[in-house]
Amino acid sequence: MVIRMAAVESESIQSANGKLRQGKGFEDLSSEELSAVLDLMAGNMIYLENMHYQYINGFIDEEHWETNRAELRQLLNRDAGWRNRQLEFCQYFRESFCAEIKAAVERIESSK
């Protein structure tokens, strides 16, 4: 939640999200906007990894995890370069969460 509140308060993230919603790509962001967005996305990945841990240990139900899974797909779908970096960073996540990342990437790429 703190990550999401920080995003609301960040002018760089607000500016970047405005550009991204207009269909512009990461290459159209200023270095400050790009840095802020990538940090936010990385924080969201850590959050989702934690939610996955809670799911596989029975602390949250299937319905809750499905919403998080949809958020994971949306996050990975934003930029191909960033998506590929997450596959490289799988070594820093638990193996079961890495499997979720790989499955989401496969779904994204097969739908294109």
pLDDT band at residue 99 using 50, 70 and 90 as cut-offs: very high
Q: Count the domains in the chain.
A: 1
Q: How far apart are CA 37 and CA 24, in angstroms?
A: 14
pLDDT at 40: 84
pLDDT at 66: 96
* 23 DSSP assignment: T
Q: How far apart are CA 61 and CA 21, in angstroms?
A: 31
Domain of residue 101 covers 2-110
Q: What is the pLDDT of residues 44-87, one digit of tens each?
A: 899 999 999 999 999 999 999 999 999 999 989 988 888 888 99
Asked if pLDDT for residue 105 goes beyond 90, the answer is yes
